[in-house]
Amino acid sequence: MNLVLSSIETWQKSKRVTTSPLKKWRRSYLDRYTVNIPQTIFDQIKSIKNYIQDVLLSPDAALKTSQLLLEGIKSLQTFPERGFDADEKVGRQISKQYKTFGIVIANRKYLLFYNINTEDKIVNVTHLLPVKSDYAKLFL
């Protein structure tokens, strides 16, 4: 396997690849955001994992769910604007400073709410809720 990787790397180095304007645009357009995750979200993920592992007796599902939750959060590094407008769904502005967005993560089982500071390219995760919860009432 190392032989294959080294030969691919050698081949890539030997090619004189010029970056097209489209690739440069994509790279600048897809700048990564910093994702701030409060300790409460990590505690929730740990609690979810423990529940699935200890109560439902499924350690594999517990690990998979926690990985999917973290991957969903990490996905906010690129194009966080893709989420739905949570302020509109609730009927009022949730955060005083920023517009609140939401995305469905972890096999469509959880809702992640966050806001975006576009100037500093920072995503602030605010809430993690099960899809089945009545989140609109929680924010009223």
Whole-angstrom distance, CA of residue 95 vs CA of residue 77: 20
The 10s digit of each residue's pLDDT in 30-80 is 679 999 999 999 999 999 999 999 999 999 999 999 999 999 999 999 999
* CA-angle at 26, arms to 122 and 124, nearest 5°: 10
- What's residue 20's pLDDT? 60
Taking a C-beta distance cutoff of 8 angstroms, is the pair 32, 78 a contact?
Answer: yes
Question: How do residues 120-132 score in pLDDT, each as one tens digit?
Answer: 999 999 999 999 9
> Does residue 6 register a pLDDT over 50?
no
What is the model's pLDDT at position 1? 40
Q: Are 45 and 70 in contact (CB under 8 A)?
A: yes
Percent of the chain with pLDDT over 90: 67
Domains present along the chain, CATH in parentheses: 34-138 (3.30.2310.20)
pTM (two decimals): 0.76
